[in-house]
Structure 1
């Protein structure tokens, strides 16, 4: 049988993707007219540009309702399974991830959906697991935020165990547990990839333990690089204790404002993220994160309120192409193996990043030239 590998499996020291192109405004909580329009046509164009440039992946957000504010931030979001299926058919090498809420998607149905998508893309699908934090979305869909914090992770473990079993055998099996009861289930065809890459974001102790056991790429909070470095060291110690076979990859997300001069970049950052921020939406998001995610207390979120509109709490990569590369080197030296990039307008800004920043990253040895 032919072996298939995702571009995420390449040997680049620092992997790059595009984040949230399926969402109106991307991650910039701004009112500027040029903010991202998430039409299918725009998604297709930027996905193919990223593919040609050699980026490793496209990562969507999973949203079922937006936030308050003048822009109705994230009310307009393309659903990630159908989005990823179409992009897998329209690209050649780049990995395309689906963002899935474990308590909203039946694992048997999802296993077949992702396997089908893997065949569509020739072995390039990925899974981003969300175990639940946004109470207003769950209540909008007819239920409480799924179980207690502890039960959500027990549920997610069973959910993932079922999916992996469906991907590894064509033999029907029964499953009878606290959260799932299935009879003679199976999913054929199996995925083309031997191991579909799995992403997850976790901040709690339970979440990190779950990630160490189960996922390939763990999203890390990057509000402070020194804290990030210490968090990664701590998780790596837990990896050794759990005798994990394959090292966990640590990634972040970053907003990019890249211009020929630092002054131009700073001026544009201030223009879109301060003068034209959608502060009502910002405050709504911060309140939800602080009250529901339990990762960072609201007092700490409020310290970063002024920076939040620029990229939804992502790490700033702001300045000239050389400044951007310096920032990426700092992320790498802190222990990250990649970051997911966002822009105010991906189509307007990514070409300059591709032409000016990517060659510099290759020159410093963190990436090889992978363009089609």
Structure 2
């Protein structure tokens, strides 16, 4: 069996990087600019291969079923995450590709087999991002309302995840008599190559963090104030220390990047796309829905970071010269984060400058090791 370190999510880089939301129209920038991200398959394939060749650790999609309205109907056009991930695993060599799965919309026996199939395709590079649900209009679009209160949604999600974990361990059929699932003579073959895959989970509420600490390898949380983040991360790590884990819990955040040769260029472009040409109706719909239904952001901060939502869906700003962006990443690391997602107004067009200018600076700071594909361990090989 391949060693778990063959998956790049478990490499030695002190700060891991991946792309977020490239499967969604607009990516993370809620802008009306014509050059905003077009989430066509052709563009996603180009994006994925650029990230793969640059040595980034992961690709993470958003599962979305209806858009946020406004002039652009932000996230109204979205590539489904499991088929997207399977296809990208077949078209890349090194990078880990995640599927984002809503527990309430997807049966665990089906998901277990889908993820195992992805892992076979990618030779051990599949990953699962578990979402226990928050967006009420999406539930209504699928024929129902949010089925449980916040606490119960996580109880449902825990049993859902427990079923998947057992399916990935058992060779023979078994019965499951739970509160939410009654399964008879169920099983799922093949298994993932390592009997599991890296698990992501975003958590803001106390229930969400308890779920992530128990089950996730990587916990996502927002970075609004780094002083606040430092305290939160210390608390999460203390909480995780009481849980038996296969390796320590890593805390990741999400960021948006505007990187230019001069700081004034970067700041002017950020203002141009995210203020002058923002889709403010969509921004306000996102904030309203999150305030009503989600716990991803502290509610006392949602309106205060409205500008960040137009620029990058509320992510941490990495704006300026390559040195400024590297400084920002270093500050995230100093606060306790082990990595971040990245988003750009246009991933395929904007990332090469980041790759050529920022990645070498991160290597010089000791936050990342140089990526040498020819010498890299092949996915699925033993360390």
Shared fold, TM over 0.5: yes
Deviation, 1:241, is 3.3
Please tell me whether residue 50 in structure 1 is matched to residue 41 in structure 2: no
Shift of 1:242: 3.6
Measure, in 2, the Cα distance between the counterparts of 1:327 and 1:187: 44
* Aligned position for 2:212: 211
Structure 1 runs (4+) deviating above 4 angstroms are 295-299
| C-alpha contact (below 8 Å) 1:272/1:310 kept by paired residues | yes
Q: How does 1:116-135 map to 2 (within 5 A)?
A: 116-135=117-136
Matched residue, 1:363:
364
Q: 1:2, CA displacement in angstroms?
A: 4.2
Equivalent in the alignment of 1:10:
11
State the SS of the aligned residue for 2:268.
helix
CA contact (8 A) 2:202 2:296 kept: no
Is 1:135–1:144's contact at 8 Å kept on the other side of the alignment?
Answer: yes
SS of 1:96's equivalent in the other structure is strand
SS at match of 2:179: coil
Question: Would you say 1:221 and 2:222 are equivalent positions?
Answer: yes
Gaps of 5+ in 1: none
Task: Name the SS of the counterpart of 2:301 in structure 1.
Answer: helix
| CA 38–211 in structure 1, closer or farther in 2 if over 3 Å, else same | same
> How much has 1:151 moved relative to structure 2?
1.2
**Deviation (angstroms), 1:294:** 3.8
Q: Distance in 2 between matches of 1:356 and 1:218?
A: 28
Check whether the contact 1:17–1:341 (CA below 8 A) recurs between aligned residues.
yes
Deviation of 1:245 (Å): 5.3
SS at match of 2:241: helix
Deviations 1:180-219 (Å, cap 9, x if unpaired)? 0111111111111343100001111111111111100101
In structure 2, runs of 5+ residues without a counterpart are: 374-383
- Supply the distance in 2 between the matched residues of 1:260 and 1:199 (Cα, whole angstroms): 34
Distance in 1 of aligned mates of 2:285 and 2:231: 30
Distance of 2:166 and 2:245 partners within structure 1: 19
How many correspondences in the alignment? 372
Residue pair 1:59, 1:97 contacting (<8 A) in 2 also: yes
Residues of 2 paired with 1:311 and 1:214: CA distance?
A: 28
8 Å Cα contact 2:39/2:78 also seen in 1:
yes
Taking structure 1 as the reference length, the TM-score comes to 0.98
Cα pair distance change 1:353/1:297, threshold 3 Å: closer
Change in CA separation of 1:124 and 1:316 when aligned onto 2, cut-off 3 Å: same
Query: 1:185: which partner in 2?
Result: 186
CA distance in 2, matches of 1:38, 1:295: 24
- Structure 2 Cα separation of the partners of residues 230 and 40 of structure 1: 40
Q: Deviations over 1:243-271 (max 9, x none)?
A: 54521100011000000000000000000
Q: Matches of 2:25 and 2:317 in 1, distance apart?
A: 20
**The residue matched to 1:182 in structure 2 has which SS?**
strand
Task: Provide the alpha-carbon RMSD of the alignment.
Answer: 1.2
Contact preservation (8 Å) 1:286, 1:298? no
Tell whether the 8 Å contact from 1:52 to 1:371 is kept in structure 2 after alignment: no
Equivalent residues of 2:204, 2:298 under 8 A apart: no
1:265-280 → structure 2 map (5 Å cutoff) = 265-280=266-281
Q: Does 1:37 align with 2:48?
A: no
Contact kept? 2:322, 2:354, Cα under 8 Å: yes
- The equivalences for 1:284-303 within 5 A come to 284-296=285-297, 298-303=299-304
Equivalences for 1:34-183 in 2 at 5 Å?
34-183=35-184
Are 1:118 and 1:193, in contact at CA under 8 Å, matched by a contact in 2? no
Question: TM-score normalized by structure 2?
Answer: 0.95
1:264 to 1:91, Cα distance in 2 relative to 1, 3 A? same
Map Cα deviations across residues 84-134 of structure 1 (whole Å, 9 max, x no partner): 010000000100000000111100011011101100111100000000110
